[in-house]
Structure 1
Amino acid sequence: MAGLDIGLTVPVWLAEDDLGCIICQGLLAWPVTLPCGHSFCRDCLKDLWGAGRHWSCPTCREGSAQQLELRKNTLLQDLADKYSRAVGELEGGPGPTRSPGPSPRPARRTARAFSGGMDLSLDSPKLGTSNTPEGKMKDILHDLEEIRKKLRENFTGKEPLEEQRQVKLPDASSSSSCPMPDQSDPTLKRTSQWAISPTFDMRSLSCSLEVSENYQTVTVAHFPQLYPWSHERFVTCQVLCSQAFSSGKTYWEVDTQHCSHWAIGVASWGMSRDQILGRTRDSWCVEWKGTSQLSAWHMVKETVLGSDRPRVVGIWLDLEQGKLAFYSVANEEKLLYECPVSASSPLHPAFWLYGLHPGNSLTIRPTKV
């Protein structure tokens, strides 16, 4: 490969989500890549398409009138295999395996890879070596911290590493950065000064979606919409609201009864347009999977909340206390989830509708105060 400089070593932080299938939410197995560029497990895609007459991408809904030939993406398969082996070495056993069919997403794992040229050997002793899962996790976290220190030393006098891309090391004793709600918390006391009815922002609206005349109902379109191209428009079936909040208290409600798979939350305007709500640093949400599971998402961390589907979701954003809370409010008010939230950038109401079901809709409803 002429021109390839292999003298410089660059650390690669590879997470399972980087090689994941959005359909089964597991590690890619026999990956195939569609013409739009999105990749999935071959069997997952075949099962999803079934005997249909229209074959579309589960992410962006770009489709074809003829069934596509699914060819194996050998590069992705190789990466998935290497990742699996790396995780196996870190955990002292075989790498992650994928069972047939959809399954709850496992705890997020991260492996590291290096090539020759930069000395990142670990000189200091580990916190402790143990054959228990807790001990192994401590060893791994210690190694990661030592590598980060080595990186700082190696880059002294060079361009500083982008601080915003450094992910805080997870606490081995916690599976989520956000606490579960206390169901005994007092009922949310809403007042008219806090209740709003946001409106969808057409600039961010995916071409797979359409909105009502009052900009308060968003629907999965039966055909791609011919909106003007914009780098602010989501690739996936998502949309933000025009209203932005950087201080104070705000409350709004969303009717979810006519959508089989959705996510509702908040995000900054700078959220990457090819990412999914809750899978970024600057977005938070609750998500109904359509498979009897309600979850909360932030920083690619999932917290399973239960199997009851809320018909109407109330969102309480209190930036005075740095708190975001979700309520089920159709019949009686129930706290679903609460977590800390940061408003380093103004936050917008954010929505994701699963793109395979044309006609599915979410509605921002007038709030009863």
Structure 2
Amino acid sequence: MAAVPLSLSADQYSCLLCKEVLKEPVTILCGHSYCMCCINDCWDQTDTEGDYSCPQCKKTFNVRPELNRNIILAELIEKLKEVTAHAGPSQSYAGPDDVPCDICPRRKRKASKTCLTCMASYCDTHLQPHLEFPAFKRHKINEVTGKLEEKLCGKHQKVLEIFCKTDKTCICLLCAATEHKNHKTVTLDEERAWKLSRLEKRRSKINNRIREKETTLKKMKQKLEGIQTPVRSLWTQTQKTTGFICLQGQKR
């Protein structure tokens, strides 16, 4: 059976308190893991002595648990860091002009795809459930896009999936079934294909006109050259004749 690739950015390797990859991980009695310094700081702020609890499951302990480093988890994280370092940065963090992943807990990675069903954008790691689990099979995965609110119907808050050719506007399925019921409608993909086809035909016509103009210009240049050549020849002959006459006059 093939091994499942692990990612250092996966939530199970993150501390719930600082939202970063676990540093000096410790696992308390309920089984949840934290950075040693984070859980110590949390319990140091506990007002009531003997009332220590897990920040995640809220299980309480009468006596402050002794914290021991989780060696296996620490070694696993170190190995994952080495693998990530050798593999190179397969995912980069989102910059000012990038669309950030909506799931990354703290430092957002750059999103690679947008799900128009969930209305959320995902980095490669958090996109995996959409690619692997049947429950997400019918979700509409699109190229990454920002400003998702612009893709929603202002009236029904549904994804704009239909183009109304009568009103020349994008609408949702509920709009198509109600106020646009008797209008001529097509899917966005059909409208896009039709417009691309028209654009291609227009471009072809423009290119044909350009070629025709270039042919006409070439013919005009050839005609002009045909007129200029005899004129230049006549001018040269005239110059020679005039020079000869002047030379004969000087001899006399």
TM-score bin, normalised by smaller chain: 0.3 to 0.5
Going by fraction, where is strand more abundant, 1 or 2? 1
Going by fraction, where is helix more abundant, 1 or 2? 2
> So what's the TM-score if we normalise by structure 1?
0.27
- State the structure with bigger RCO (CA 8 A, min sep 6), 1 or 2: 1
> So what's the TM-score if we normalise by structure 2?
0.38
**Larger-gyration structure (1/2):** 2
